[in-house]
Amino acid sequence: MPGALDGIRVVDFGQYVAGPLAALWLAENGADVIRIDSPAGPRWSDQANAVLQRSKRSIVLDLAAEEDRDLAAQIVSAADVAIENFRPGVMDRLGLGWERLRERNPRLIYCSIPGFPEGDPRADVPAWEGIVSAAAGLYNPGRWSPPKVTFNPVPLASSFGAIIAAHAVVAALIARYRCGSGQRIEIPLFDAAMQLIGPFAGTANGDLPQAPNTNASWDRPYQCKDGRWVDVSPPFRAMPRFAERYLSKEVLDSGVADLYATNPENVEKLHEILAALYETKTAAEWEEESNREVGNGIVKVLTTAEWLRDPHALDTSCVVKVQDPELGDTAQAGHPVVLTKTPMGVRGPRHEVGADLAAVLAEAANADTSLPAGEGAEADLTLPLEGFKVVDTTQVLAGPTVARVLAEYGAEVVKINDPHPQGPGGAAAHTFVNSGKRSILLDLRQAEGRDILDRLVDEADVVLQNFVQGAAGRLGLGEEDIRERNPEIVYTSVSCHAYGGRRGGYRGHEQLQAVTGMELRLGGGRPQRANLAVCDLGTGHLGAFGVLLALFHRLRTGEGQHVQVALSRSATMLQVPFMIDHANRQWSEPSGPEATGWGPLNRLFQGKDRLFYVFATDLDRLHRVIGLEDSTIDDLEARFSTDTAATWVAKLLHVGVAAAVNPRDFRENMDDPVLQERRLSVVREHAGIGTVRSIGLWGRFSRTPPQVTFPVSAMGWDGPQIVEELGLEQEYDKLVEGGAVGVTAAG
């Protein structure tokens, strides 16, 4: 079947993870991706290349040679998109930068994915994963327990850079379709990584109303009868049913099991009760029984090797099987999104390096780069999604993040919340994930509330929902219901485990990253959750990627479709370097709470005042640093503990060793004047909430830049205006009185 990007040609100069991963997702959505390597092959010689380089054609060019640089320019001149992830200025020095290439191809989308952005004081720092993650504060504990700085081997900065670059490219293709012009995009890994602290950074300056604390013993991993573990998702809806089924009347009457019984004695007592309870069944029994009978989000904690062989992962294309020319039969990370009309698909295993040069050069010489008829009519376009409308019925983090990104691209978003939520919520996350949206409280169980939703749907281009499987249909919000009113709609579903497999109807939240191996990797055999909402926010950005693909397809064909994303998909994609299994696979990556990095010279160190990250290629380079002249690998920890992190980082950078200070907390980055000048850290006044400093922009476009959106007000604040625009202003008081429309507590 055709892909959403059929007819689009991409040139992939990327190395390591971010660039190649973004190009992979474009390829498996139908683009013809041409990978350019040096005669030595990919810079990163790793089994992960079986994933990163599949579905692409391969050519070899020596960019140090003028003749080959000219050939590269000729190939890019016949392309729609070029992707590179070198440091700022490298491609310009090679004569392959944006300014030169756009002269030859004004319709080119040129995507740069550097570690730090052009103009940043750290732009020349070699931006290895650990360096960027430390600089962005990803090794801080955030608000989650345990409160310990932990090294995470998952390449979060690179993965988020790839995700955001992928949706940025599609947004730029939409803009080009509408206005006729190409543009340069810059998606720094540092900026992408900062998206991960968004829900936590909202309290950096000022005190926001927070969600009430809950009894932590309900929400944690437990060991079972067979020695295996389960992890449990927050049980706001299902906890009472679970408690009534499995706990004694004495325990229930004592109040120990109450969700909000948070004093230490209650927490410890409930932990003892639940620990004994979970030991009565195997992990697999708990997963199946709890989800089937009480709807509680519980999963067996798997290793990555187990996930790569898991029937649900294979049934849902979270994992795919590929016959690799070097590794043989493999199970690999699959597809980040599902599109029902233009499905993603593996376009073949990786090619032999350089195998496609003759064909690519012949095609470039005969390429037609003229503007297709009917495109480019909106020359005054300022935002890619200007004029598009989105109805967002999703809750918590993942679904709302999809719509937030669409708002940053210019879409008009109406956010719908329940006037009577069944779980706690806080303003800190709301001000981040719902930025740029107008908000209304609707009771969709009432006909009057549904009527308002129907009127919004009639005018919409996109509808988002993240109800448990089947619930949307019962509310009249299923795809068939919505499409009957609006046949061309892009209907988008966000789930925990992905539709199609045995877990498709399971409830769940961020905590159930456990099923993909992420928790056992971080914990070293004992489950440990990532300190940040990595899967929720990854799903949000991947959902935006899926919606943009569907909108691009709809622009070209008039056809809507169903977009599906899931937390399990996102957790798989975030771990791409580990997501491959084959006969000779060795599992040797760093893991556990004592892990500090990838090696003795590629790790976190403790300075006199705080942690910092160092990546040195050899000890001789470190010997050029004053104070390290005669150091050995064994005494580096003691040497580094004698002075401040900032002092050591300055010395290391002076001799060309990559290093970065790990901030004490998120406030430190949010208060950085450099980030404020780049609008990555912004202060806004939220009606009904107050003044909040939040994460702002995550990238730069030369033609249609995403916007720092208007600050969201308290939930429901915009209800009167939305009702009036729908022509129901005369009925507003009656709608409120009957409960179909809620009124914000703040106003």
Average pLDDT, the chain: 91
DSSP letter at 95 equals T
Query: What fold is seen in the domain 1-125+152-201+671-711?
Result: Rossmann fold (3.40.50)
Q: What is the pLDDT of residues 683-740, one digit of tens each?
A: 888 898 888 888 888 889 999 999 999 999 999 999 999 999 999 999 999 999 999 9
Q: What is the pLDDT of residues 611-625, one digit of tens each?
A: 999 999 999 999 999
Among positive and negative, which fits the CA dihedral 492, 495, 498, 503? Answer: negative
Residue 146 confidence class, pLDDT cut points 50, 70, 90? low
Q: Answer whether residue 503 shows pLDDT above 60.
A: yes
Q: Which CATH superfamily is domain 216-305 in?
A: formyl-coa transferase, domain 3 (3.30.1540.10)
Q: What is the pLDDT of residues 564-618, one digit of tens each?
A: 999 999 999 999 999 999 999 998 889 888 899 999 999 999 999 999 999 999 9
Domain with CATH 3.30.1540.10 in the chain: 216-305
Query: What fold is seen in the domain 385-575+715-742?
Result: Rossmann fold (3.40.50)
Q: Which residue did the predictor score with more confidence, 259 or 539? A: 539
**What are the φ/ψ torsions at residue 600 (nearest 5 degrees)?**
-65, -20
Distances (CA, A) of 171 to 196, 381, 406, 485, 564: 21, 13, 9, 27, 18
Q: Answer whether residue 678 shows pLDDT above 50.
A: yes
- Of 115, 137, 291, 292, nearest in space to 201 by CA: 137
Q: Answer whether residue 427 shows pLDDT above 70.
A: no
Averaged over 417-436, what is the pLDDT?
Answer: 76
DSSP string, 257-315: T-TT--SHHHHHHHHHHHHHHHTTS-HHHHHHHHHHHT---EEE---HHHHTT-HHHHH
Domain with CATH 3.40.50.10540 in the chain: 1-125+152-201+671-711, 385-575+715-742
Q: For the whole prediction, is pTM greater than 0.85?
A: yes
